[in-house]
Amino acid sequence: MKRVEHIDILTANERKLQKISKDNLLALGLKEMKVIQRYYKKKKRNPTDVELETLAQTWSEHCKHKTFTGKVEYRSFDCSPASLYKGKREGKITINNLFKQTIVKVTSELKKKWCLSVFKDNAGIIRFDKDFAIAFKVETHNHPSALEPYGGAGTGIGGVIRDILGAGLGAKPIMNTDVFCFGPTDYPFGKLPQGVLHPKRIFKGVVSGVRDYGNRMGIPTTNGSVFFDEGYVYNPLVYCGTVGILPKDKCFKKVKPGDVIIAVGGRTGRDGIHGATFSSLSLNEDTEVSAVQIGNPIIEKKVTDTILQARDRNLYRSITDCGAGGFSSAVGELGEDCGAEVNLECIPLKYAGLEYWEIWVSEAQERMVLSVPPEKVKEIMKIFAEEDVEAVIIGKFTDDKQLHLLYEGETVCELDMQFLHKGGPKITLKAEWKKPVKSSGQIKIKKENREGLTDTLKKLLAMPNIASKEWIIRQYDHEVQAKTILKPLGGAENDGPMDACVMKPLYDSFKGVAVANGINPVYGKIDPYWMAASNIDEALRNVVCVGGDIEQTALLDNFCWGDPRKPDQMAGLLRAAQACYDMAKIYQTPFISGKDSLNNEYVDAQGKKTSIPSTLLISAISIVPDIRKVVSMDIKKAGNLVYILGETFPELGGSHYYLLNGFLGNNLPRVNPQQAGKTMLAVSKAINKKLVQSCHDCSEGGIAVACAEMAFSGGLGMNINLTEVPFTEKKKDDSTILFSESNSRFIVEVSPAQQKEFEKTMKDVVIAPIGKVTEEKQFKVYGIKNDLIIFADIADLKKSWQKPLI
Amino acid sequence: MKKVKAVVLRTAGTNCDEETVYALKVAGAQTKSMHINQILKKENPFLNYQILVIPGGFSYGDDISAGKILANELKYKLYASLKDFVEKGNLVLGICNGFQVLVKSGLLPGITVMEEEQLVTLSGNDSGKFEARWVYLKTGKFKCQNLWTKGMKEIIYLPIAHAEGKFICKNKLLLDKLKKNGQIIFQYVDKEGSLSGYPDNPNGSVFNIAAICNKKGNVMGMMPHPERYINKHHHPRWTRKKLPEEGDGIFLFKNAVDFAEKNLV
């Protein structure tokens, strides 16, 4: 038998401590190493290797969210955001625990009764109806996807599915949503540094990885989006989300001392060692690929099938998945309040030769951990055996508040749960918001002639962020389980872009859920505060468009950022988080779960660091009271009226119109949540009264793109008149009205017979009739001087929009 | 009247079992979903059942080739009871992965009850990738005689979702036989009902074949998913069109249950 390995830290000086952390890939800072040293000095012994690994996994940024729970000292040149400075004219603001002060705070202040479980479990859980609840979680799997796109993305979706299976006492997954951020697919090969995969290869690999895992799991992928930006060449982002349904009386779990610990599913191998700590470090050309896990969806499917049977027969008291940190995190979390004892040699291995610490921290996939009352062991084991799922007893939960690990009879780890979970030091970060550099003076875009604006519209439609994603969507089964009511593509020829998907989770009920996302990292380059606000607005607009009830809508946040130790990065993070609080408070849409992935930066051979654009994905989930009232975005009938809801501002900063012309700009879209909330409520009401024939939100590309998409998706023409569009400035021009990306706007199609009632429903909202649906298949826009400025066949517009992605 | 009993067979990687069970229940059959391991333990597993459905999914991950492992289990472990089940005129329906299983186990094309060797296959789509889309299907010209499509519209609409769905016959002779015997149940067509190419024929199937039955007609395999169009809200254009409440897919299950009720219970 191998002797237990101890690591000498008792006598180590600061430099040595740092070296130990670095050499063992622990990703622990000096402050943390010193706290550990102090702990062991009291214990009068050195830590074992597995103890140090356990602490590193548990205290990793990935698991502990040190940045979000730490202390931030923030300064802003203009004392913004005002909600933070509260009238103070200067100085710094100190925030203890950013997460609790913003995202968690808004949820607790809103006190929504339908929020059943928030921020505690593997997923957020909301009420669905009197018997059922809905769980939703979105995860990131960025670092692995950069190194091994297919496997990285596949295990990304595999991981979030297990989060749903491990939410409450286990939810049945009913849909997936995927959002990807890649570098441009035409990025020059010559510019790629050594070791970085080309965006095209990453794109294809990620799409097939998610496809092969999601399709095999039998979970429809019904929603998603893709964003291309040069900032993602080194670090692509892969967000995977899953929605599940579970009985309302199965939303909570509690381990009891004396319960048996059972590991279910995949075997443990050397794949995914140090995943949690590795994702807390920057990537460089030498980053090890062994940190990427290897997935097997059929094992996960079998695990899902059997666990749901065991759940319904009440055979376990608690459950969680092995994600980042492997057993170390899973058993560590479950046993936090009581204690646990594990015999590492009982854990089934893929192959011989693993060190005991590797067994403990391996992130091999498809594993779940259950807390099973001893008298139920026989029955639960039978369920697993009947469907060829491997399940073994690996230990028990105790009441001594210790984490006790044994390997072949010898103690290899004895840690206080209290120290493991609460002992980590708080970190302090500095954040500074500096005056942004104004982009080069007044932006001048050549005055377009008539032909010009039609051409501009076509070019916008063909921009990869706006263009059709059909190539991806059709590779994903979006109808398995027969619960998809509004599919990702729809309209006269099943190829128009729907705003959100709608699922009908129960066969015998007309209640549904709508899911959508909001993401726009371009705005983040100007100000993360308004990026966050815009993304929330966008996600909400999308669910409202299809018939989601704004008053029963919950949000998820997913921050992907660079290195938070850089004051400007941290300032952006803080501003975005503050916007989450400010907006959600007024919209009355609580956050129920979230995730952050920091340190998304690449260090090249010369040591130059490049971080990703600060990116926040907001996902919204809404209850749809009656799916029979769901509305799609394709226009329906010639003669119907076209309305715009919400005001248009001259907000071209960060717009795709500017990007097309090579500018970024400054004046990015802002949000007035009070007014926006009213608009959304009115839309919800109008849809509920069946006064809306089609509805689409204005996002990238503004009014022009939104109306064009509605027209060609419906296979009908449209006449639009810009003179009618409510615009906030006296000085106006056609291209600003057409392409400004101001938030909180909807384009709505209304039948003439319902015009009066529709307008009555909209009495608190800025609205204007701006055009008509026409029989002839042409898209016509008249400018502010009443001249025809855009004229195109809808077939031509569609052709531009369907430009191949790859 | 005695109730028709249906069994939905599932195994590792099956994933359309839940909605298939639902469709059968809506059609009026008392339905149970059973794992292959449970079935293998029984002496006479299909006794008392009149309908066996092998639903879609990725049985055993579609390792080796789609449906192959489950097909071998049927062929080598359940041969006698399946043969008996089919010979007695009971119904077998394979959907998507289930169709792949039926052709690889020899239950289809079923010129004899269980073919010794594989005569037809479903190979990789011409497009080279997994595809999910809705397709128009023409019911074969023998539809009035065929128990599955009796009374159905000339052209129906159903979704497909597969990577390996291209129907190929061993030789032309066999194809002619299938035509002559009226074994071709559905063909991929365009909106108007004419045979056409991609994407109307989503995988490049020979003679646009989407579904076939055995010679006797009681074993049927199809790539499209009837269980995914049970009511109008499954239709991709229900938000813009007046549609009947019931979807095209449910009639297939109803026909099967009706037939079983009249002839098998």
For the segment A664-698, what is each residue's pLDDT rounded down to a tens digit? 999 999 999 999 999 999 999 999 999 999 999 99
User: Considering only A445-459, A535-549, A693-707, B38-52, which range has the smallest mean pLDDT?
Assistant: A445-459
- Any A CB within 8 A of B56 CB: yes
Residues near A237 by beta carbon (within 8 Å), at least 6 away in sequence:
A140, A142, A179, A180, A181, A560, A597, A600, A612, A615
pLDDT tens digits for range A159-204: 999 999 999 999 999 999 999 999 999 999 999 988 899 999 999 9
Q: Which amino acid is at A9?
A: I
Are A481 and B13 an interchain contact pair (Cβ–Cβ within 8 Å)?
Answer: no
- For residue range A483-526, list pLDDT tens digits in order: 999 999 999 999 999 999 999 999 999 999 999 999 999 999 99
- The shortest CB-CB distance from B16 to any of A218, A632, A636 is to A218
Residues 113-152 in B contacting A (C-alpha not used; CB under 8 Å): 129-134
Instruction: Determine which helix (DSSP H) or strand (DSSP E) holds A217, and give its type and residue range.
Output: helix A199-217
Please write the tens of the pLDDT for every residue from A583-597.
999 999 999 999 999
Concerning whether B213 is annotated as a catalytic residue, the answer is no
Name every chain B residue with its beta carbon within 8 A of the beta carbon of A477.
130, 132, 161
* Mean model confidence pLDDT for chain A: 93
How confident is the model at residue A441, as a pLDDT? 41
Q: Is A442 helix (H, G, I), strand (E, B) or coil?
A: coil
Q: B233 and A627 in contact by Cβ < 8 A?
A: yes
pTM summary value? 0.96
Q: Which residues contact A161 (CB under 8 A, 6 or more apart)?
A: A173, A176, A217, A219, A242, A300, A304
Write the pLDDT tens digit of every residue in B86-111: 999 999 999 999 999 999 999 999 98
Among the partner-chain residues A216, A480, A486, the one whose CB lies closest to the CB of B161 is A480
pLDDT range class, residue A442, cuts 50, 70, 90: very low
Tell me the per-residue pLDDT of A102-116, one tens digit each, with 9 for 90 and over.
999 999 999 999 999
| Candidates B38, B159, B239; nearest CB to A479 | B159
Q: Which residues of chain B are within 8 Å of residue A216 when distances are taken between CB atoms?
A: 13, 15, 58, 61
Percent share of chain A, pLDDT over 70: 96
DSSP 3-state assignment of A73? strand
Reply yes or no on whether the pLDDT at A253 is more than 60: yes
pLDDT, mean over chain B? 94
The pLDDT value recorded for residue B144 is 53
Enclosing H/E stretch for A147? helix A142-147
Quick one: pLDDT at residue A691? 98
Partner-chain residue, chosen from B12, B234, B237, that has the shortest CB–CB distance to A490? B237
- The lowest-confidence range among A120-129, A274-283, A680-689 is A274-283
pLDDT band for position A16 (50/70/90)? very high
Quickly state the pLDDT bin for A300 (edges 50, 70, 90).
very high
* 3-state class (DSSP) for residue A249: helix
Each residue of A311-339: pLDDT tens digit?
999 999 999 999 888 999 999 999 999 99
Q: How many CB pairs under 8 A join A and B?
A: 102
More confidently predicted of A292 and A257: A257
In contact, B220 and B183? CB cutoff 8 Å: no
Å from B163 to nearest chain A CA? 9
The nearest alpha carbon in chain B to A482 belongs to B228
Going from the C-alpha of B76 to that of each of A418, A495, A541, B105, B119, the distances in angstroms are 57, 45, 56, 9, 18
Nearest by CB to B233, from A476, A480, A504: name it. A504
- Write the secondary structure of A386-432 as one string of H (helix), E (strand) and C (coil): HCCCCEEEEEEECCCCEEEEEECCEEEEEEEHHHHHHCCCCCEEEEE
In the residue annotation, A198 being an active-site residue is answered as: no
In this predicted structure, the answer to whether residue B240 has a pLDDT above a threshold of 50 is yes
Which among A655, A630, A636 has a CA at the least distance from the CA of A705?
A655
**B243 touching chain A per CB within 8 A:** no
Test the B interface: residue of A301, A305, A477, A545 with most B CBs within 10 Å: A477
- Chain A residue closest in CA terms to B233: A485
Residue A290's pLDDT band (cuts 50, 70, 90): low
Q: What is the pLDDT of residues A216-249, one digit of tens each?
A: 999 999 999 999 999 999 999 999 999 999 999 9
d(CA A518, CA A595): 15
Query: Cβ of B233 and A478 within 8 Å?
Result: no
- Indicate if the pLDDT at residue A553 is higher than 50: yes
Which two tokens mark B59?
């049985």
Q: Is B130 close to A487, i.e. CB distance below 8 A?
A: no
Report ipTM for this prediction.
0.96
